[in-house]
Structure 1
Amino acid sequence: MEFTSKTEDVNDTKAAGCDSKLFVLWREVVMAYVAPATMAGIGGLVTGDRGLQIAALTTIGGTSALAACMLGLWLRRRGVHKRWIISADRFVVVGLFVLAGASLGVLSAWVTLCLLGVVWPNDHLAWFNRVWFDFPLSATIVSTIITWRWHNSVKKNDLSQGENRK
């Protein structure tokens, strides 16, 4: 016996013959934080780099989770209404979102450094030097993964609804 919620969004629906949910935002956000934070933390332990260990939990994991949440929310709310995103080739859509994610990562690093640079001098915060690398890289990786998985789930959902209409 299977219980499903009547309030499931179009992205949380199950495809025909599929036993698992396709795209669930909170799972994506948790994994967007845990996966890079774990890998960077292990890298920091192996190399003995305390700055990388701290960045794993803050700038790397935090940026990844925030970018995944913002992108996932936009795709769930607005992306399903844009037919060109759904009908276009997955590589084109992912490529566009990767460019946008990298650009927003650079922009957010610049804004962060400008705003916090006024309040705190650069030499007092150890993670200041990492922001130029961590923000764009995290946003790029997350944009790739989230867009790829969302586009895949929407395509599967679209195909399963097309089969049900016949």
Structure 2
Amino acid sequence: MSNMKYSNKTESNYDIKAAGSDTKTFVLWREIIMAYVSPAIMAGIGGLVTADKGLQIAALTTIGGTSALVALMLGLWLHNGGGHKRWIIGAPHLVVIGIFALAGASLGLLAAWVTSGLLEIMIPIDRWTWVDRIWIDFPLSGFIASTIVTWRWRAAVRTHFSTKGEDKK
């Protein structure tokens, strides 16, 4: 009985569940955690292999943090109305993912530009090594997080719509 209540609550909150099951496939907090952990682990391993302390620190800060922030913003937008746009659901899967990946990378570039500009104005320190990294970290993290979140969200929406269509027949 409690599982039934949980399933109904999940479906009403997210409007997305797996076909033929009571488990949800797209949950925002899980996507945010995975958006942080996945690139942070990969960059951390790269930092260990190359013995690059800067990359090891960036893995936990600029790389993982930017990915989590992009996943949060995109997931909230998709959940709160952006995902109800007809072109997002109707367009080919790879086209939608490509558009969002480019948008994520562009927002990452914009964030790097704003961050580096503000830091130079507010705190005039000769050279911050991690500020040079954000020109790569922010756009790449935005690209990866946008791709993963859009891919998983789109797959969950397609499953949900195909399940609803079968129920009506």
Q: Which amino acid aligns with 1:28?
A: E
TM-score norm. by structure 2 comes to: 0.90
Q: Which amino acid aligns with 1:79?
A: G
CA distance in 2, matches of 1:31, 1:126: 27
Alpha carbons of structure 1 residues 22 and 12: separation in structure 2 relative to 1, 3 Å: farther
CA distance in 1, matches of 2:92, 2:13: 20
Q: In the alignment, what sits opposite 2:39?
A: 36
Structure 1 unaligned residues grouped into runs of 5+: none
Percent same amino acid at aligned positions? 61
Aligned to 2:23, what secondary structure does the other structure show?
Answer: coil
Count how many residue pairs are aligned between Structure 1 and Structure 2: 166
8 A contact 1:12–1:23 mirrored in 2: no
Q: In the alignment, what sits opposite 1:83?
A: 86
The RMSD of aligned alpha carbons is 1.7
Alpha carbons of structure 1 residues 110 and 138: separation in structure 2 relative to 1, 3 Å: same
Matched, 1:153 2:146: no
Structure 2 unaligned residues grouped into runs of 5+: none
8 A contact 1:12–1:22 mirrored in 2: no
CA distance in 2, matches of 1:69, 1:103: 16
Matched, 1:11 2:11: no
CA distance in 1, matches of 2:125, 2:144: 27
Q: In the alignment, what sits opposite 2:26?
A: 23
Q: Which amino acid aligns with 1:60?
A: I
